[in-house]
């Protein structure tokens, strides 16, 4: 009887296995990257002043990459600060990444695909328990250190992190994607598959030369079963539930393709429920009239973003153009803020910004010559109330696109203003111009050299001498209110000035590198970068080395040393050197 049961079970399994309705396919690809990086300086003249044996501030670089926040952090342990005294004037770092990209084909119309990362610097705990993550830059970094370190330092806790996952449904007329949308726009100055992708419900309809896409962003609401009924309240969570705004926004995209020409027009509009303030520049700067205190929830932010991109490539000549416009509006709604016993009315925040660029070039035999220009708008004290904003993280140039042109100045340092959540540079308030030559030495070896120049769009958005300690500081509306002696904004700082208009030069950089397919599925990529920082750094960043000498071997946090910080503005800065080499195994 048992033999008959086993035979029947085997027969059923074979029948199911041969039935197309029950068949599915699984495939997987991935990559393992081992990366080595080295930083140094060509002389003693640092961004933060003259370094020598009497100044124990080390070299100026991204201290322990990545930086943990999108802005220059106000502390002395991350970001572009006064060096890392544990490493001296030379620093090297080795880490690795392992990523799997599985794909499940349920049937010709249904596929599931995702990306699973087996390593993450977010798990770099120094011996702390899993879940007690460090700062944001660590959490979002996908590499884990493999350098030789003592116990309980740089020790990763192994854990699999799902980067993205999507379901794709192919209908006769349209394609429906649920989940992650790893798409790109134009040159990738703003949106790139490696950054600013989104999770949503996307429907794409092909129509002749057009591809029409529409993506609704559904509103998020919190539900707590053990809380009081949410029929009133001013907190964000209350209002999200009360409003029942399930349709939070929409993204539309129209792509036209005709031979070598591609035109892409996209638009995003959504309401960000009670998000953080666009900028802390919303407080009124004039002497206020008598105001009645009101209790008004922080208003929602209305966001509108528009992109137009054109690509052309005829096999020999190419050009790419991209323009991105942003409008981030928040109404003050008559709300007030109490500062120093004086009540101020909040102003409407109407922030507008631009990113645009062009890239062109030609292919001649084994050579490819490219030229590019890009701008991310800045911010001026005379117009910042209703104009472009230097501090918006969403309006920074994408590091994935800018790394192609300058490894140190853009990708690592972000020109000193912004980083993304992974700690990679995100240049803002900047103009870029560059040239690049790629040459195919062999069918499996490409060598390249780049030269890029950058300058500030509006340098006076920063305070001369930074924060008078160890990093830069922005010249904001609050700074102006403070200097005018308006109550609630602190005492005026004698001698405080903005970086002068002429100190715009961010610097120039020359990179040399190669992409070598050494073996099948094994690639060796390397880049050597030589960056000469420009005059803007010596005006916008403090002379921390001089502060150190003047204060007997310390850099005081308070009181700040304005005289030391502003000494030697326009000083010489020696070039910085960076090297990165990666071995990549694709499978």
Do the Cβ atoms of 398 and 422 come closer than 8 Å?
no
pLDDT single digits (tens) 556-583:
877 899 999 999 999 999 998 999 999 9
The answer to whether position 572 is within a domain reads yes
Of the candidates 262, 452, 448, 454, the one whose C-alpha atom is nearest the C-alpha of residue 369 is 448
- Token pair listed for 46: 């640092």
Tens-digit pLDDT profile for residues 149-197: 444 444 444 456 677 788 999 999 999 988 876 678 889 898 887 777 6
Residue 449 in domain: yes
Alpha carbons 57 and 139: distance in angstroms, whole number? 27
Mean residue pLDDT across the chain: 75
Residue burial 81-120, b: 16+ Cβ < 10 Å; e: rest: bbbbeebebebebebbbbbbeeeebeeeeebbbbbbbbbb
521: alpha, beta or left? (left if phi > 0; alpha if psi -120 to 50): left
Give the C-alpha separation, 124 to 147, whole Å: 12
Structure confidence at residue 422 (pLDDT) = 64
The neighbouring-strand residues paired with 369 are: 362, 437
List the beta bridge partners of residue 435.
Answer: 371, 451
Q: Is residue 506 part of a domain?
A: yes
Query: Whole-model pTM?
Result: 0.82
Half-sphere exposure of 260 (CA within 13 A, CB side): 9
Query: Into how many domains does the chain fold?
Result: 1
Average pLDDT over residues 307-334: 86
The percentage of residues in the chain with a pLDDT greater than 90, rounded to a whole number, is: 36
The pLDDT-based confidence of 261 (bands split at 50, 70, 90) is very high
Whether the CB-CB separation of 579 and 412 falls below 8 Å is answered with no
CA 584 to each of CA 100, 140, 192, 194, 373: distance values in angstroms, whole numbers, following the listed order: 13, 21, 21, 17, 30
Q: Which residue has the tokens 């999108």?
A: 70
Name the band, by pLDDT with cuts 50, 70 and 90, for residue 235.
very low
Residue 6 in domain: no
**Paired strand residues for 507:** 454, 533
With a cut of 90, say whether residue 139 has pLDDT above it: no
Tell me the three state secondary structure of residue 482.
Answer: helix
Share of the chain above pLDDT 70, in %: 64
Q: Taking the mean position of all CA atoms in its chain, how far away is CA 376?
A: 13
Whole-number Å distance between alpha carbons of 532 and 42: 10
Quote the DSSP letter at residue 175. Answer: E
CB 452 within 8 A of CB 432: yes
Q: What is the pLDDT averaged over residues 37-55?
A: 82
- The residue that leads in pLDDT, 516 or 292, is 516
Neighbouring C-beta atoms of residue 171, cutoff 10 Å: 10
Rounded (10°) CA dihedral 234, 236, 239, 241: -140
Given a contact cutoff of 8 angstroms between Cβ atoms, the answer to whether 426 and 396 are in contact is yes
Question: Who has greater pLDDT, 267 or 390?
Answer: 267
Residue 148 lies in a domain: no
Mean pLDDT of 306-334: 87
Report the CATH number at residue 207: 2.40.160
Q: What pLDDT does 300 receive?
A: 65
The distance between the two most distant Cα atoms of the chain, rounded to a whole number of Å, is 98
Contact 173, 109 (CB under 8 A): no
Within a domain: 144:
no
Whole-angstrom distance, CA of residue 35 vs CA of residue 29: 20
Report the half-sphere exposure of 218 (CA within 13 A, side-chain side): 9
Please determine, for residue 549, whether its predicted confidence score (pLDDT) is greater than 70: yes
Structural domain including 87 reads 28-118+160-586
pLDDT at 5: 53
Beta bridge partners of 37: 93, 580
Q: Which residues contact 222 (CB under 8 A, 6 or more apart)?
A: 237, 240, 241
pLDDT of residue 307 exceeding 90, the answer is yes
Position 513 scores a pLDDT of 98
By residue count, the chain amounts to 587
> Residue 199: helix, strand or coil by DSSP?
strand
Predicted pLDDT at 17: 52
Residue 502 falls inside a structural domain:
yes
Higher pLDDT, 533 or 71: 533
For residue 55, the model assigns a pLDDT of 73
Region 283-310: what's the mean pLDDT? Answer: 61
The predicted-structure confidence for 70-125, as pLDDT tens digits, reads as follows 333 334 333 344 444 444 567 777 888 899 999 999 999 999 998 888 876 544 44
pLDDT band, residue 136 (cuts 50/70/90): very low
The pLDDT tens digits of the residues spanning 483-525 come to: 888 777 778 999 999 999 999 999 999 999 999 999 999 999 9
CB under 8 Å to 246, separation ≥6 — which residues?
218, 219, 221
21 assigned to some structural domain: no
User: What integer pLDDT is reported at residue 347 of this predicted model?
Assistant: 60
What is the distance between the alpha carbons of residues 64 and 84, in angstroms, rounded to a whole number? 8
Higher-confidence residue of 525 and 413: namely 525
Quick check: 249 pLDDT over 60? yes
Q: Say if residues 571 and 45 touch (Cβ distance below 8 Å).
A: yes
What's the CA gap between 481 and 502, in Å, rounded? Answer: 25
């Amino acid at each position: 009887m048992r033999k008959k049961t086993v035979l029947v079970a085997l027969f059923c399994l074979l029948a199911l296995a041969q039935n197309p309705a029950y068949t599915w396919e699984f495939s997987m690809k991935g990559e393992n990257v081992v990366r080595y990086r080295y930083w140094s300086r060509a002389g003693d003249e640092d961004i933060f002043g003259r370094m020598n044996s009497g100044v124990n501030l080390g070299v100026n670089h991204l201290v322990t990459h990545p930086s943990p926040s999108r802005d220059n952090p106000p502390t002395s342990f991350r970001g572009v600060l006064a060096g890392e005294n544990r490493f001296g004037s030379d620093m090297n770092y080795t880490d690795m990444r392992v990523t799997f990209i599985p794909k499940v084909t349920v049937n010709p119309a249904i596929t599931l695909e995702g990306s699973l990362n087996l390593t993450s610097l977010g798990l770099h705990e120094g011996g702390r328990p899993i879940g007690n993550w460090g700062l944001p830059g660590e959490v979002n970094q996908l590499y884990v250190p493999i350098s030789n370190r003592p116990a309980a330092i740089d020790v990763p806790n192994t854990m699999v992190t799902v980067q993205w996952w999507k379901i794709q449904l192919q209908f006769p007329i349209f394609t429906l994607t649920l989940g992650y949308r790893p798409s790109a726009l134009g040159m990738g100055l703003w949106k790139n598959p490696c950054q600013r992708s989104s999770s949503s419900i996307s429907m794409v309809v092909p129509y002749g030369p057009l591809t029409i896409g529409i993506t609704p962003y559904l509103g998020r609401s919190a539900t707590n079963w053990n809380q009081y009924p949410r029929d009133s309240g001013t907190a964000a969570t209350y209002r999200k539930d009360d409003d029942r705004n399930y349709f939070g926004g929409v993204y539309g995209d129209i792509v036209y393709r005709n031979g070598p020409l591609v035109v892409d027009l996209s638009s995003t509009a959504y309401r960000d429920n009670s998000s953080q303030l666009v900028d802390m520049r919303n407080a009124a700067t004039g002497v206020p009239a008598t105001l009645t205190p009101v209790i008004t929830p922080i208003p929602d932010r209305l966001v509108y973003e528009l992109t137009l991109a054109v690509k052309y490539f005829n096999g020999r000549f190419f050009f790419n153009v991209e323009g991105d416009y942003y409008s981030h509006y928040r109404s003050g709604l008559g709300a007030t803020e109490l500062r120093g016993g004086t009540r101020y009315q909040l102003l409407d925040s109407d922030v507008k910004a631009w990113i645009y660029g062009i890239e062109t070039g030609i292919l001649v035999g084994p050579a490819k010559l490219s030229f590019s220009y890009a701008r991310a708008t800045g911010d001026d004290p005379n117009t910042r109330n209703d104009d472009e904003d230097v501090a918006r993280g969403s309006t920074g140039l994408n590091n994935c696109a800018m790394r192609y042109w300058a490894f140190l100045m853009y990708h690592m340092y972000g020109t000193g203003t912004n980083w993304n959540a992974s700690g990679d540079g995100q240049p803002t308030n900047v103009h870029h111009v560059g040239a690049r030559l790629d040459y195919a030495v062999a069918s499996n070896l490409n060598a390249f050299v780049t030269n890029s120049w950058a300058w500030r769009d509006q340098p006076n958005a920063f305070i001369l001498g930074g924060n008078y300690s160890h990093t830069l500081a922005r010249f904001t509306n609050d700074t102006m209110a403070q200097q005018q002696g308006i109550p609630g904004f602190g005492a005026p700082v004698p001698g405080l000035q903005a970086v002068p208009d002429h100190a715009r030069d961010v610097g120039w950089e020359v990179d040399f590198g190669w992409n070598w397919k050494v073996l099948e599925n094994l690639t060796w990529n390397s880049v050597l970068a030589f960056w000469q920082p420009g005059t803007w750094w010596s005006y916008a960043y403090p002379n921390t080395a001089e502060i150190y000498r003047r204060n007997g071997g310390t850099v005081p946090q308070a009181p700040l040393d304005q005289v030391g910080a502003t000494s030697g503005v326009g000083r010489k800065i020696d070039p910085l050197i960076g090297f990165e080499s990666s071995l990549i195994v694709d499978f």
